Amino acid sequence: MTQKFSSAFSVGAGSIATALFAAALFAYAPVFRVHVALAAHPAGVAGYWAFDDGADPTADVSGHGNNGDVNGGAAFTGAGIAPTPGNAFALTFDGVDDFVEIAHDSNLDMTAAYSISLWANVTDIATYRPILFRGTTNADDIEVYVQSVSGDLIVAHNRGNGGTFDFVGFDNPPAGLFQLVVTYDGTDVKAYYNGVAAAVVQETTTVAAPLDTDKGWWIGKVDHSEFGGTFLFKGLLDEVEIYSRVLTASEIEILSATGNTLFVDSDGEVGFGSIDCDGVGVGAYTTIQGAVDAANSGDTIQICAGTYDEQVVIDGEDLTLQGVGDTTIVRPSASATLSTLYTYPAGTFWPGTVMASIILVKDTGATTIKDLKVDGVNVTTVPAGASRVAGILYGESAGVIDNATVTTMVVDGYATRSYGIDLSAVGTARSVEVKNSDITNWSRNGIQAQGASLTADIHDNTLVGPDDVFVGAAVPNGILFIHGVGGNATGNIISALHHSLSGSRSAGILFYDPLTPGIVAEDNDISDTDDGVNVAHNSNDVIVRNNNLHDNLEVGIHLEDGATNATITGNTITGNLMAGIRFAGAADAPFPDTPPGIGNIANRNNISGNTVGVLNYDVTPQIFDATCNWWGNASGPGPVGPGTGDNVSTNVDFSTWLTTPDLNGPCNGPLPDVTVTIIKYIEGVHATAGNVNSTSFPMQSSWDAVNIGAGSGSFSLTLPTYEAQTSSMTAGADYSTNEDTSLASVGASCADGKPFALLGYTTGGTEAAAVVATLSSTSPAFTGLTSNKYVIVWNKDCTPKLTVTKIIVNDNGGTATTSNFALFIDNATTTSGVAATTTVGMHIVSENNLPGYTATIGGNCDANGNVTLALGESKNCTITNNDIPPPLKVHILKYLDGTKALASTTSSYLFQMESTWKTANLNGGATTTGNYVLGNNHGGAPDLYGADTSPMQAPANYSTHELTGGVDQPLSPEATCQTGAYRLVGYSTSAANFATAASSTVSTTTPSFFGLTSDLYVIVWNEKCVPPPPPPSPIAACNSEIPPVGFTLLNGSAGHDNVTLTPNTMFVGQGGNDKVNGPNGNYVICLGSGHDKVTLGNGEADIDAGSGNNTVKTGNGNGSIYAGIDNDKITTGTGNHTINSGEGFNTIQTGDGTQNVTTGGSADKITTGGGNDTIAAGEGNNKVKAGGGADTITAGAGNDTVDGGAGTDSCNAGGGINNLSNCP
């Protein structure tokens, strides 16, 4: 359980005390609200104890069955209880032993998000007052209580027996009865007093979720020995609810009854749902009138789906009745249900008339009825005391009727006047908007608006009347504006309104009696009525515009009985069976009528397709202004008018009129007479005697014009103009024409075998416009002509035509022109580019070609000039002549060491070459390869070491290269030069001459040329290999420290160097134990004193190792090796070497080659390979073994072992005990 104290700090005017228990008592004065809206109970309720049963145990009305055990003297009371609909009792607690215990149920565990809602009146805070706790003795893990003395609200999650707990404190709740909501979302706790968030005054940083302790709940009690034992609530609790989720702001508002929404639900179900009526039952009103009676102005009454058997009366309160659509139905079960009546006041058209209405709204300033249905099916007789009945009645009231359905307002079999919606106001100015509603089946008026204080905006509704019910009193109208009312009727759809039993007629919209000037009927669609719009009985200044008044039994608009200043404009008035507009009068048999008054006009309307356009029955006579209307034809109205449009009667001013259906178009009728001109075009040009061979082209036409009547006939387009023009026709005429393809001259296509074929037609206001218009195969038909027209009849000449076109290409110096070539079709001369008329079948195109030109036939001809023509075909063949370029050669020349090769510089060496060529004049044009030499005048060229190709026809492909690497062939560019040999360096080329080629870049890539059109020059570059001068002795080079030519100097350090050299390097050490390595290549190595190790690859090597114990190893190649005092080990590969190892115990081993070896006075071991060697072993016990060859071996004093090896050897072992072998 949460500790009951915290540090004192300011909380508004009070503070939280540090004392655990204090005796101070806050007295709260009760606060009563004038009105409290209902509490609807959102979905997810886990438990609900309303206390309305007044019983022990008290019921859990959530449906989960967790009833509460009432303990102590807790008493039920009906006083000071929560102001929720249907609330009967609350429970009072004495603070001594009263509480309610609810046994554990998993549905009430609340281990995640939850909410608590209740009504409370805390009457004592002398000690802390537990409101709602989950747990039992010493295990209260969800706690909601009022802190002692301070009166703060505390919400805590305890961790058992006074252990860890998280808590949040809130500012003092209001005095007296208040509504409390506590929410927990998994992290934060919030509290709301009467729907308003309470200020947080103390809290932990986070509030962990409650544990799953499997404990029940106490209402009004906590028992915790560690904090003083048992504490109990004192005051009143009501409507206690626990939810397993977080309530929304809207739900909190509704539960707190601080909002202005009342709920009505008639389904009788006990359940809890969201505010969209899903299962709402407990706490909702069961009748609409019950909610209305409880509501205050500004409230919304949310009416759930259901059928409500009642009359709804709103008297003086500005309310909103909000249903859920046609499933919210107000349907009284009997006429007697409509017991509250309404009497029209003085100033209305029917003062004193008593009205009954299913929904009656009177004396309100802003009442809205929305999304519901009113059904009068059971109101079949006049309710007692009434004379007429309405579905919805607004009397002296303002507001909105939106998306309401009113249906079946049929009383006494249509004999009693009934209305769908009845609006009236003659006192305070009122405005009523009726929109988006459906009204069906009534006897008198679907929507009725009357009274000088009323402005009615009636728009976007659908009214479907009862049709003709054949009851004398039933004259059903759609919308009635009467007796001083103002407003508009726009965007409505009205139909099915007829009356045939008297001289009266039903109207879609009826204007009756003087009205507020400027009422507008606009954008309405009215059909299947007697009169679409009736302007009657002294009504005035009505504007009827942009309506669609069509297919009515009698007229689109009826003007009668003194109506004045009606403006009729922009309307479409079509298909009406009597007339478009009826101007009443005494001549209107069999029901003569009073004519309308003055100032009525009808301009810029579409009055067409009616039996009569305008009928004027006034015998006064009064002339009706019907100018600037479209009568369905540009010729205007008939029969008193000149045209074929809708008829008009006498006393109608119809001129001028619109000459197109565009109601904003020119009012310029009558128009001048019109004509149609028909012109023949052949192959895209105006027909003449020459291009049609004087052919006559038959045509058909039909016409209908006021001045010439209707008819049809034939004519021809023929000599001399191939044009025809109609007679003048009254504007508005109809005319069509087509070419006759059934006769001999013109067919539907050339396949018909006739001279010409019809391609189609174009039309325009001028010949020039018709020429560029889109071709159509549909024969032209004009209706309502208002201007002259031109028709071009396009034909194709079906005679075959062949055009031969000459193309000349002079890109190689040719000068011929088209006139130099004779062209033929079937051996008959033809002119280039001129179509020649010919016959059906195959033809041959040819020419007389000129020397030096090739000829290629193309286009529609094959390569041999053959072409086939069918009837109506036009083809084009081309003959292309291209001048032939002159033959070309490739010239090849040898350069040696940078100059032209001569026999003296080449020792008459023959350089072998290979080439590949492809040209039309050699080897049948095939790719061919052959060999030749560049030698002493072997190439047939002016230069001794040159060669020229045979003449080649352009374009030619050619490549050539020198043969290398074989016997009697130069070395390749990548080969190492060998003394006395030639090596290929590369090639250079030029299209100009050898001099330019000689200065061009040399490349080792084989010269290859494609598409040659002119001579080309190729130089083959070679060099003669010369042996390089021998390097100086390493001693000389090392002494001078000047590298030989071509070598790079690299100096070592004074320390121990470890280097890897690149070829052609002279390395000079500075003493120390050096390690020198080198890959294949030539080297000069100079080392100082120290123990050195030299390892080299193949190549020339000259080495001065200096004194020290040296190890020298070289690969194949010539060289010289010098070593100073100390023990040396020298190993070489094949090659000629000079080796002087100095004093010391030396080991020398060489490969084959001529060796000159000298050692000092020590015991040396010398081994050589094959070759003529000279060996001087010096003093010491030496071991000498020479390979094959003529060797000379000398040894000093010492015991020597000498093996001369194979060959003739000279051995001189010197003094000592010697062992000689293979020495003669």
Tokens 């109970």 — which residue? 41
- Based on the fold, state whether residues 235 and 307 are members of the same structural domain: no
Q: Give dist(CA 188, CA 205) in Å, integer.
A: 9
β-pairing, 99-102 vs 217-219, is antiparallel
Q: What is the largest CA-CA distance in the chain?
A: 179
Burial class (CB in 10 A: 0-12, 13-18, 19+), 968: exposed
Domain boundary among 483, 502, 521: 502
Domain that holds residue 160: 10-14+43-259
Angstrom distances, CA of residue 37 to CA of 310, 738, 977:
21, 81, 116
- Based on the fold, state whether residues 999 and 1041 are members of the same structural domain: no
CB burial of 484-512 (b: ≥16 within 10 Å; e: otherwise) equals bbbbbbbbbbbbbbbbeeeeebbbbbbbb
* DSSP tag of 832: T
Query: Is 440 contained in some domain?
Result: yes
- Based on the fold, state whether residues 857 and 1000 are members of the same structural domain: no
Query: Is 614 contained in some domain?
Result: no
Q: What is the pLDDT of residue 466?
A: 96
- Based on the fold, state whether residues 1010 and 1041 are members of the same structural domain: no
Query: Is 524 contained in some domain?
Result: no
- Based on the fold, state whether residues 838 and 977 are members of the same structural domain: no
Segments of the chain scoring below 50 in pLDDT? 1-40, 268-275, 279-282, 1029-1031
The tally of domains found in the chain comes to: 6
Beta strands per DSSP E along 690-800: 697-705, 709-717, 723-725, 733-739, 746-747, 756-764, 781-785, 789-797
The separation between CA 275 and the C-alpha centre of its own chain, rounded to angstroms, equals 38
- Pair of tokens at residue 436: 């988006």
Q: How many CB atoms lie within 10 A of CB 672?
A: 11
Rg of the chain taking only CA atoms, in angstroms: 63
Q: What is the pLDDT of residue 135?
A: 76
Q: What is the pLDDT of residue 484?
A: 98
Torsion of CA 482, 488, 490, 494, to 10 degrees: -10
Torsion of CA 621, 626, 630, 634, to 10 degrees: 60
DSSP string covering 350-365 = STT-EEEEEEEEES-S
- Based on the fold, state whether residues 1079 and 1014 are members of the same structural domain: no
Tokens 């010539």 — which residue? 1118
* DSSP tag of 210: P
- Based on the fold, state whether residues 1013 and 1110 are members of the same structural domain: no
- Based on the fold, state whether residues 864 and 895 are members of the same structural domain: no
Query: Is 287 contained in some domain?
Result: no
- Pair of tokens at residue 358: 């299913």
- Three-class SS of 282-340: CCCECCHHHHHHHCCCCCEEEECCEEECCCEEEECCCCEEECCCCCEEECCCCHHHCCC
CATH number at residue 957: 2.60.40
Domain boundary among 744, 766, 797: 797
- Based on the fold, state whether residues 308 and 416 are members of the same structural domain: yes
Q: Give dist(CA 579, CA 530) in Å, integer.
A: 11
- Based on the fold, state whether residues 253 and 323 are members of the same structural domain: no
CATH number at residue 760: 2.60.40.1140
Query: Is 1020 contained in some domain?
Result: yes
Q: In this structure, are residues 221 and 99 in contact, taking their beta carbons and an 8 Å threshold? A: yes
Query: Is 473 contained in some domain?
Result: yes
State residue 748 phi and psi, 5-degree precision.
-70, -25
State residue 312 phi and psi, 5-degree precision.
-110, 125
- Based on the fold, state whether residues 184 and 110 are members of the same structural domain: yes
Query: Is 743 contained in some domain?
Result: yes
Q: In this structure, are residues 363 and 315 in contact, taking their beta carbons and an 8 Å threshold? A: yes
Is residue 1197 helix, strand or coil? coil
Domain boundary among 743, 764, 797: 797
Query: Is 573 contained in some domain?
Result: no
Q: Give dist(CA 614, CA 1185) in Å, integer.
A: 148
Burial class (CB in 10 A: 0-12, 13-18, 19+), 126: middle
Q: Which sign does the torsion angle of CA 624, 627, 629, 631 carry?
A: positive
- Based on the fold, state whether residues 1073 and 1149 are members of the same structural domain: yes
